[in-house]
Structure 1
């Protein structure tokens, strides 16, 4: 029997093995009492399996309140355990929303628990093959952009909102000339009155086409088309009509099903922004960790996945960012290759000084490095900002320190003096 394996961290004042059995029953064929029709054959075919219960160090105080436990006078110590449960693929079929409901669903609401976090979800190859693969991923993005043997260096339109379509188009033209590989909208700028997509896409792509025709070099623009499903499809069509190649979506707010529909309706590269992920992940005993999260959204057909940044401005430990990037570079299912890898995207407070840590975290050149202020605020301008990133990469390739390489590379030297002084 093919199983989807889900790994959880739980906290409960009760026996963790008993809670694991409750979870398996709740999310498959069982309920709190055996019901008519729940035959032995049905249970054998459809019941989830508890695969492992590994108890951890208990704590004296609950992470979360449970009225269920309070009403029954059940108190600590609160036992923590890592458990694995296998769900038969036949219970779910090709249904991404139901997969998410199965591995998460009502589990967060169980009265017996004072903490539950979905850590990871792994799927067998036969089940992975039911879903769309990336249209580009890492290899395909390299082929489309003709960028090889180095990372992608890109930036974000700043100010985030307020610029008009012509202003954005002029900025894009300047950034193309500066040498960026990739430009994206901010997550809060999708279809504003100041720069509606129907106006902004043609204006921006006119600049990109002019640059492309003159230089032979393409720049990928990720237009933020986050919206309801039909609107996203409409805007994706306009991007393709204007010769664009990429659309950005806020994954958490559009949702799995809408992204599946979008993926099936367009050949654009889908750049997945994870804004809001902290609401799912930040507390250690509730929500969803990135390994589980990236599995679900990669099954929806994303090509690029944000992982935050090394030494960035957000709350993640560098080890978390590194682990997230490593996952993006691996196939979802054993036996798959490049067709099942997505491009990890580093952003948030990035500049030349964070390139070495990023290179070390990934272990290769297969990543996208986005710097907003790290390019646009460079003392000598955006072109020098991009140059400073490439010079930082050259230092990594040569195995020398940034300070050593900066002695003969002014753009990098200025970046170290300017951004490094800001801590």
Structure 2
């Protein structure tokens, strides 16, 4: 395949075919009027094509305002699923230009009262040009020493306000409690109350001491989000200190920032999707996770946040489940690389969601489950909170109900009583 393809959900008061042709022209070689240089041969070589149109329902009010194209009363707004394609020659395998092409000015076109990018299919040239994940699922399991089952993790809380020494005290409790994975909050990077290098220097001796005692190095994702030179410098500090993971807020750093970091990086990149609601909350605007995650997997992240079931945010369980499965779906057909990454469940996660989460994953256990209050607020303490998560996911893997498993596992019983009314 030498063409880039993308599917969209659109809504328009105009004739659908005409609106789609405007969309294809705007995002390739066309403009508001045909130019002398835009010959038929030129358009054949460089124009985007409308590959298919599937008409859906119509509605009597626009999903998004149309102040510059007001419509008369009684207008119907037709929805459709459309698929467009572009010649690879237009942009080459450039992630940044791909984003500008597939998710650029088309959102502003007057013809549309709704437009959402659904999915992306790319030629193998992108697999060859883009770095992709360096560690992915297998590398994460190897570095963390967790060969099977989910990695049980948590987020350092309070998110901000702790000094480096106070942060280390929390980490010490988590290490002693048997945690697999610890991450900074996305709000904690290099603030004046908790400077990055001081935080790393306070935490890593504890991690290495714990490794000497147990033979397993707990993975700590230090948040290096910042300017490019700062991210490189902080990555190098984590590496020199013996760390095994760094974290970036993807939307804050951008595709070019992540790609640059990936080519420098010697550690897994934990990708946080802070700001995801800007793309997802309006059903007729933005993009689906299936499309969004394609860019970041190609850029080189190894883990991707997908929210969690029964979360505190606005996302449905079906959407969360689809996002997690997308992380495990190969980006390219063989012989291209799969570029699969570890989905990260978070937000209000406790032992209660274990069975539904495993079901959403189709029985696969390649995931990181980060539970904040579900571990730290367990009535038996942090160690009991960690054990309750392990017991819950063990029950799910074995096809045992949580209630039945809790009869012989006190920590799980306490978690169910506390968190699962």
Report the Cα distance in structure 2 between the residues aligned to 1:337 and 1:93, rounded to whole angstroms. Answer: 17
**Counterparts of residues 33-112 of structure 1 (less than 5 Å):** 33-70=33-70, 76-112=75-111
Correspondence for 2:268: 269
Is the Cα contact below 8 Å between 2:329 and 2:338 reproduced in 1? no
> Residues 12 and 78 of structure 2 are in contact (CA less than 8 Å); yes or no, is this contact kept in structure 1?
yes
Per-residue CA shift, 1:174-227, capped at 9, x if unaligned? 211111110001111111111100211111111111111222111000011111
CA shift for structure 1 position 245: 1.4
Q: Is contact 1:137-1:339 (8 Å) kept?
A: no
1:301-316 aligned within 5 A? 301-316=300-315
Secondary structure of 2:330's counterpart equals: coil
Cα drift, residue 17 of structure 1: 1.1
4+ aligned runs moved over 6 Å, structure 1: none
Match of 2:365 in 1: 365
Cα distance in structure 1, aligned partners of 2:93 and 2:309: 36
**Contact 1:138 1:338 (C-alpha < 8 Å) held by counterparts:** no
Q: Secondary structure of 1:57's partner?
A: strand
Distance 1:243 1:33, change over 3 A: same
In structure 2, the residue corresponding to 1:234 is in which secondary structure? Answer: helix
Give SS of 2:58's match.
coil
Quick one: distance in 1 between partners of 2:3 and 2:93?
A: 14
Give aligned pairs, total: 420
SS of equivalent residue, structure 2 residue 140: helix
| Partner Cα separation in structure 2 for residue 105 and residue 280 of structure 1 | 13
Distance 2:74 2:229 in 1: 50
Aligned residue number for residue 129 of structure 1: 128
**Paired residues of 2:127 and 2:337 also in contact (CA < 8 A):** no
SS at match of 2:84: strand
Corresponding position of 1:248: 247
Whole-angstrom distance in 1 between the partners of 2:195 and 2:74? 55
Q: In structure 1, the residue corresponding to 2:98 is in which secondary structure?
A: helix
- Check whether the contact 2:332–2:338 (CA below 8 A) recurs between aligned residues: no
* TM-score, structure 1 as length reference: 0.97
Instruction: Quote how far apart the aligned CAs of 1:337 are.
Output: 7.6
Q: For the aligned residues, what is the CA RMSD? A: 1.4
- For residues 13-412 of structure 1, the aligned pairs below 5 Å read 13-70=13-70, 76-335=75-334, 340-363=339-362, 364-412=364-412
Q: Deviations over 1:27-81 (max 9, x none)?
A: 11111221122222221111111111111110000111123312x7597211111
- For residues 336 and 389 of structure 1, the distance between their equivalents in structure 2, rounded to whole angstroms, comes to 38
The unaligned stretches of length 5 or more in structure 1 are: none
Q: Provide the C-alpha distance between the structure 1 equivalents of 2:309 and 2:259, rounded to a whole number of angstroms.
A: 30
Residue 416 of structure 2 corresponds to residue 419 of structure 1: no
Which stretch of structure 1 is more off in the superposition, 39-48 or 404-413? 39-48
